[in-house]
Structure 1
Amino acid sequence: MQFRIEEDSLGRRKVPAHAYYGVQTVRAMENFQVTGISIAHFPRQIQALAVIKKAAALANQELGLLDDERAQAIAQACRETRSGQFDEHFVVDCLQGGAGTSVNMNANEVICNRALELLGRERGEYSSCHPNNHVNLSQSTNDVYPTSLKLAAIWYGKDLIRALRDLARAFADKGEAFREVIKMGRTQLQDAVPMTLGQEFTAYAVTLDEDVSRLEEGLSLLHEINMGATAIGTGINTDPQYATLVSRILADISGLPVVKSPNLVEATSDTGGFVQFSGVLKRIAVKLSKICNDLRLLSSGPRAGLNEINLPPRQPGSSIMPGKVNPVIPEVVNQICFQVIGNDVTVTMAAEGGQLQLNVFEPVVALNIFQSLAILHNGCVTLREKCVEGITANTERCAAYVDQSTCIVTSLSPALGHETAAHLAQEALRTGKAIRDLVLEQNLLSSEEVDRLLDPQNMICPQPIAKERTASDEETKPAR
């Protein structure tokens, strides 16, 4: 391998000749061999860094702080970086000390060395264009890095919103397909009252649509940025007009409605927006995992479980039990959700761990939020394509559970009273007799009345309430 020699404040270092990164990135690679996950694993952050550096260059050019030639070379290098041309050169580990300085310098060096080529220079000839003096002009890691997190999270969040909406639509379609399938609802894993399978699946669609709204609210909190804050929010080494100008240019370039924070000191130390956003991702994970639990229960069996629905078979389920098929898609989504819930704890602790004017733990915030967004997106797509769209109903099995259940006696409670209905349920369990037969044997209702009240179609939505029959009713009944 061929090398070039670069120098920073700590001395000289060999840098691979082909690399667009430079000496400070080399040091970070040596120091932070931690997760094996480089920032290139999350290309949205690289895109965010590119638009930030371009906005800064154009703002500095407009303010007369950066000459046209360098500014345009940097802007072109940023456009190419945003397109993904140099992703392989973003090599620093996601988890690192320094509050994200290594990520910022990795971006500065890649963009700088490409700008040097555009200026007709060799990589590493920093006298013509310098990573700190020109690419990082009017900036600090402490405003660039958190802003890049926010932009990337917004873009990843929009991807997740689309996946959630598609999944909700798939559940809604099944709700419509299953609207005539009568089944038993259950509370505490015990028989409750009848409902339709369509109502059950429609509820899943509604709860996911609610999470889309919460996610949109969470993303809106990330639109406030601290560009121009530089080190601690005081704006040292910037022009008085820079913060407002760079925020406006960044909004234009990124297509996102980002705005300058009204207090840059507060914005530089505060990570509350990330905490709330991570909490929304946890909420989605909790609800999605509960849905997957339901799918596994409803499809359990097939002979010795509920077996009300069939999940599409995806692979053999056992190395020892022939013919066994497991609910592997809901299972993997469950595990995705567990990971997201754990990631939220990490984000919470990292936010709490900040001190004074900066939170140095934003790299672990970034890693966990980006991972949560990515795996939730993939989980939603996988659940929809490989499970929900292929679910079928076992209509006869669902109907049989309704016929066998004693809890249909609930519909008789308004007419007979709670205690009488409870006695009927207990007697049905003890004798094995049907509720209908017991009511007629005891002459509690007419055949027409009991058929109407025990019709499952009348139990799945509000109906006119039958008046409870009392002793006084019998005494005032006209003599025949």
Structure 2
Amino acid sequence: MTRPNASDPQSSKQGAEAAVLWGPHTERTRQLFPLGGARGEMRMPLEVVYAIALIKKAAARVWARRGVFSPAKGEAIAAAADEILAGRHDDQFPLPVWQTGSGTHTHINVNEVIARRAEEILAARGVDERVHPYDDVNRGQSSNDVFPSAMHIAARTLAEERLFPALEEFLSVLWEKACAYRLTVKLGRTHLMDAVPLTFGQEISGWAALVEADLRRIREAAAELEELALGGTAVGTGLNAPEGFAEEVVEELARLTGFPLRRAENPFAALSGQNALARFHAVLRVLAADLFKIAGDVRLLASGPRGGLGEIRLPANEAGSSIMPGKVNPTQAEMLQMVAVQVMGYDAAVGFAAALGQLEFTTFRPLVAYNVLTSIKLLGDAVRSFTEFALRGLEADERAMREHLSRSLMLVTALSPRIGYERAAEVARLAQREGITLREAAARLGVLTPEEFDRLVRPEDMVGTFLVREAHFCGDGEAQG
């Protein structure tokens, strides 16, 4: 689906510079629902408007092929829809998200704008033919099947264009870092307490595997959005939509979008529920949780640099404090965590809204559309920013990693098979109490000679057999560390 260029001056015309194309229904709605839409803060997302326009274009082509519309009328409606898709009339859709729960007001807004522009196009071509917003632009359709279909198309398109590329680049950089540090041994931590060693590459590979699984789940959920409610019209029976019409429109939409779109198997379910979008947003919530965890790990590992862990260095992109010179804060990680929290909040609203369907139709659709599309945008933009301004320049402080590892009491775990859990615990307790090394404590207790300790406690032999190379091809280059 064609998306407008935000810098296109035609997409930003306002006020007197652009003729008002909407009709009386839109104007009444604009007056009755003054909830920020007039100022643009909470307008219906343009992605939904574009998706509705795309449906109108597909329907007009079908009606023209069937001989119901004259070729001129069909072409004019399609041309008007194309202008909307090019972003030329963005200011003609002033209605807020907070309107009727079916999205009918925005749907009619699009019908009115297309009808007006189609008549102007016909007149410019010397054709004297009327275009009616209901009888023509909306022929064979209802808000109840068009709006949910537009929501699916909008979410599917936005995920493909904005979220998937950002996650793929994020994963590429994660695996690059995992490979680079696959031999860099560091101290592991559980419960925020010292644990046994692992490599930094292994730690990063865990982040990457979480996001890979999330991306797979999101793609699977996105495929469910390719099922459309079109053809159900008002309550699912297809009243006023002739045999085969919906199938032809969906085929046309599939050609226009490039997605394998299909009609819903059960139109009554498609109109009365929102489970596909609820499931899709639920997997966005899982992604948000994993991103929160990864960003939190980055913040902890970068903490300090002298009073915290200080095991990684982040790019010093901007001043971190208005009073403390030279301070560097993990701002990108904090941004990513805030976005994750917001998405989790949106998911609570989406889940609640999806539960509120009644009888043959579910309302709350504009709320779901706004939250789902906003979450896609936020996650895509946040991941792209974090990748570019934090992850790509992330470096291990291997000196700090070695220092923390050398002072860890949990290296004593390697002694358990030889001297037993209880004696190993005695060694650790003595080392902690006296402020001496494990090596010295083992010798003082007489359980191991220093030479025996050195043979048994080798951090590089304690990181297990899992290699990052097994999870991801790292090439033949030498690892750092």
Q: Same fold (TM over 0.5)?
A: yes
Greater mean deviation of Cα atoms: 63-72 or 298-307: 63-72
Say which SS state the counterpart of residue 133 (structure 1) adopts.
Answer: coil
Partner secondary structure for residue 198 of structure 2 = strand
CA contact (8 A) 1:40 1:87 kept: no
Work out the CA distance in 2 between the residues paired with 1:98 and 1:192.
Answer: 53
Partner of 2:366, secondary structure, is helix
Alpha-carbon displacement from aligned partner over 1:250-269 (angstroms, at most 9, x marks no partner): 21222111111121112111
Shift in alpha-carbon separation, 1:35–1:453, aligned structure 2, 3 A:
farther
- Note closer, same or farther for the CA distance 1:21–1:383 as it changes in structure 2 (3 Å cut): same
Determine the C-alpha separation between the residues in 1 that align with 2:148 and 2:133.
19
Larger Rg belongs to: 1
Q: 2:428·2:441 contact (CA, 8 Å) conserved in 1?
A: no
The CA deviation at 1:30 is: 1.5
Supply the AA of the counterpart residue of 1:253.
L
- Residues 250-291 of structure 1, C-alpha deviation per residue, up to 9 Å, x if partnerless? 212221111111211121111011110110110010110111
What's the % identity of the aligned pairs? 37
Report the 3-state secondary structure (helix = DSSP H, G, I; strand = E; otherwise coil) of the residue aligned with 2:371.
Answer: helix
Structure 2 residue corresponding to 1:230, chosen from 223, 230, 233: 233
Tell me which residue corresponds to 1:18: 19
Measure, in 1, the Cα distance between the counterparts of 2:264 and 2:452. 68
- Residues 1:253 and 2:275 are matched in the alignment: no
Task: Tell me the residue number matched to 2:157.
Answer: 155
Match for 1:103 among 97, 101, 106?
106
Q: Equivalent residues in 2 for 1:256-275 (5 A)?
A: 256-275=259-278
| Structure 2 segments unaligned to the other structure (5+ residues) | 1-15, 467-481
Residue 184 (structure 1) shift: 0.6
**Contact 2:122–2:128 (8 Å) recurs in 1:** no
**Alpha-carbon distance between aligned partners in 2 of 1:434 and 1:98, rounded to the nearest angstrom:** 67
Q: Does structure 1 conserve the Cα–Cα contact (< 8 Å) formed by 2:443 and 2:449?
A: yes
- Which amino acid letter does the alignment assign opposite residue 22 of structure 2? Y
Whether 1:140 and 2:111 are equivalent positions in the alignment is no
Comparing 89-98 with 332-341, greater Cα deviation is found at 89-98
Map of 1:284-323 to 2, 5 A cutoff? 284-323=287-326
Kept in 2: contact 1:39–1:91 (CA 8 A): no
| Distance apart, 1:447 and its partner CA | 4.6
- Contact persistence 1:39–1:45 (CA under 8 A): no
Q: For residue 3 of structure 2, what is the aligned residue in structure 1? A: none
Q: 2:41, 2:259 → 1: CA distance?
A: 26
Cα distance change, pair 411–106 in 1 and its aligned pair in 2 (3 A): same
Match of 2:211 among 205, 208, 211: 208
Once residues 414 and 225 of structure 1 are traced to their aligned partners in structure 2, the CA distance between those partners, rounded to angstroms, is 61
The answer on 1:79 being equivalent to 2:82 is yes
Say yes or no: does 1:32 pair with 2:61.
Answer: no
How big is the shift at 1:317? Answer: 2.0
The residue type paired with residue 326 of structure 1 is N
Question: How many residues were matched structurally?
Answer: 447
**Which of 386, 390, 412 pairs up with 1:387?**
390
CA contact (8 A) 1:38 1:90 kept: no
> Match of 1:327, as an amino acid?
P
* Equivalent-residue separation in structure 1 for 2:20 and 2:148 (angstroms): 26
1:327 aligns with 2:330: yes
**Does structure 2 conserve the Cα–Cα contact (< 8 Å) formed by 1:57 and 1:74?**
yes
- Tell me: CA distance 1:47–1:341, structure 2 relative to 1, closer, same or farther (3 Å): same
Counterpart Cα distance in 1 of 2:433 and 2:43: 66
| Distance across 2 between alignment mates of 1:416 and 1:92 | 74
> Which amino acid is the alignment partner of residue 236 of structure 1?
L
Q: CA deviation at 1:59?
A: 1.9
What corresponds to 1:369 in structure 2?
372
Task: Tell me the secondary structure at the aligned position of residue 324 of structure 2.
Answer: coil
Does the 8 Å contact 1:95/1:367 carry over to 2?
Answer: no
Q: CA deviation at 1:89?
A: 1.6
Instruction: Give the counterpart letter for 1:147 in structure 2.
Output: S
- Tell me how far apart the structure 1 counterparts of residues 461 and 94 of structure 2 sit (CA, whole Å): 64
> Quick one: distance in 2 between partners of 1:462 and 1:446?
28
Secondary structure in 2 matching 1:191 = strand
Structure 1 position 450 matched with structure 2 position 447: no
Match of 2:11 in 1: none
AA of the residue aligned to 2:379: L
Distance in structure 2 (CA, Å) of the matches to 1:40 and 1:86 = 14
Secondary structure in 2 aligned to 1:219?
helix
* Cα RMSD for the two superposed structures: 2.2
Distance (whole Å) between structure 2 residues aligned to residue 216 and residue 352 of structure 1: 23
Q: Report how far residue 319 of structure 1 moved.
A: 2.4
How far apart, CA to CA, are the structure 2 residues paired with 1:27 and 1:121?
29
Q: SS of the counterpart of 2:205? A: helix
Residue in 2 that maps onto 1:399: 402
Q: Shift in Å at residue 58 of structure 1?
A: 1.7
Relative distance call for 1:307 and 1:126 in structure 2 (3 A) is farther
Bigger drift between 413-422 and 380-389 goes to 413-422
Q: Contact between 1:56 and 1:246, CA under 8 Å: does it hold in 2? A: yes
Q: Which moved more, 1:150-159 or 1:63-72?
A: 63-72
Deviations 1:196-254 (A, max 9, x none): 11211122112111111011011011111111111111111111221222222221222
Aligned AA for 2:236? G
How far residue 393 of structure 1 moved from its aligned partner, in angstroms, is 1.4
Question: 1 or 2 for the larger relative contact order (CA 8 Å, sep ≥6)?
Answer: 2
- Within 2, Cα distance between the matches of 1:260 and 1:75? 22
Call closer, same or farther: CA 1:332–1:442 in 2, change over 3 Å: same
Q: Mapping of 1:84-95 within 5 angstroms?
A: 84-95=87-98
Counterpart of 2:151 in structure 1: which amino acid? L
TM-score for both structures, normalised by structure 2: 0.88
Alignment of 1:113-192 (within 5 A): 113-120=116-123, 128-158=130-160, 159-192=162-195
Offset of residue 181 of structure 1: 2.3
What's the CA shift string for 1:76-129, capped at 9, x where partnerless?
22222222222222221122125101111121112112211111169xx99711
Q: CA deviation at 1:135?
A: 0.5
2:352 aligned partner, one-letter code: M
